[in-house]
Structure formats: structure tokens, C-alpha cells
Amino acid sequence: MFQYSSKSLFSWVREEYKLLFLFTCFSAAFLLQNALLLFCLFVFLALLMAVSGYRDFLRLFAGLLPFLLLADIGFLVFLSDTSIDLLQLTLSSNLRILCLFSATAFFTFSTDVFALLKLLRKMHFPEAIYLPTYVLFRFLPEIERDLVEIAAVQRVRGITKRNPLLYIKSVLLPLLFTDLQKADDLAIAYYLRKKRESSA
């Protein structure tokens, strides 16, 4: 879902332009308030992904659906006593999240993370910015693999999407602990490397 493909139609485009495009899409998704304009942005990004060769739409949006439903239920439960237009809020927030994920999927599908890292270093970005960016795009495919494996194990245990709350809990909690352990290992490795560099 979030993995670079050298076969992408846009993989030849310079990383500077792709980074600018990603920033523009994120800004537009956050600044646009009109649901129709957000929907147009989403359709544009979906068409761009299709043209670039991205074919994993079903998994991308099926994976997002439980989280969007959970957020929508949260809006209804916690904001029902306010004067906020809940239909407009849920529609625009769902479209905003879809736009953000579509832009990220397009960016990671068509951008080599090592070329991006080289660009950020060349532009003299601080390590505090480019290192988390590298880690994010390097480990998104791994998180996705963990999600698929955990979901398969839960299916063997008889936990399916027919019981959505149990399924979400049974998949998200192991995924969270697995990824927190990986993040912890990564942080320790980085800390030890920095300690070695400073003592040398």
C-alpha cells in the first residue's frame, strides 16, 4: 500500500517537485472547508494514483474505513449536544483524511526514500526532520505487513469483520505493541550510534 515502485509513471520526477506537491496537497486538505472542493481534491488524487500505476485502492480505503467510522461515532457521541453541523463536520473530516492518505500513498508509491533522504540532506534540513521522515516511509510497508499478519492470525482464531469492535480491538492492540517494540529498538540503536559517534 505504502511502498515505492520504480514502475510508477512519476518515479522519474525530481524529488523536490514531489515534496512540493505533497506539501501543497496537505495544505489544501487542511485549508479547504468546502466538502465539494475536498471531494474534488480527493478525486484528483485518486485519478493521479490510477494514472501513476497504483492499484491498491481497495486495501488503502478498506483499511481506513474502520478508523473513519470510529471517528464519526466519536463525533456523534461527544458533539451531539453542540450547535456544530455534524453532517458537515463528519463529511469534511472524512474527505480530509482520505485526501491526506491518498497524497501520502501517491508520494510513497512514486518516491524512492533514499533519494528523498539525500535531497533533505542536500537542502541542509536538520537531522530531527529528515530522520523521522526516513523512518516513517521506511517502516510504513513494515507496519502494513504486520497489520496483514495480525489480521490473518485473528481470522484463524475466528475473529472476523462481522464483529467490528472485537476485530478492531484484536488487530489494533497487537499492532500497537509490535510497532512500539520496533520503535523502541530503533530508538535504542540510534541512541547507541550517537553515543559511539560522540565518544570517538
Residue by residue, pLDDT tens for the chain (200 residues) are 556 677 777 888 888 898 899 899 999 999 998 889 999 999 999 999 888 888 777 777 777 787 788 888 888 888 878 887 778 888 888 899 999 988 988 888 888 877 877 888 888 878 777 777 677 766 777 777 888 888 888 889 888 888 888 888 888 888 888 888 887 887 787 777 777 777 76
Q: Which residues contact 104 (CB under 8 A, 6 or more apart)?
A: 2, 22
**97 and 160 part of one domain:** no
Last residue of a domain, one of 82, 111, 140: 111
Residue 27's identity, in one-letter code, is S
158 neighbors 147 (Cβ within 8 angstroms): no
Closest CA to 52 of 3, 13, 8, 6: 8
| Residue from 109, 140, 121, 3 nearest 46 by CA | 109
- Same domain? 137 vs 59: no
Please give the residue range of the domain that contains residue 157.
113-200
Together in a domain, 8 and 80:
yes
Q: Which of 111, 134, 167 delimits the end of a domain?
A: 111
End residue of a domain, out of 111, 133, 163: 111
pTM beyond cutoff 0.85:
no
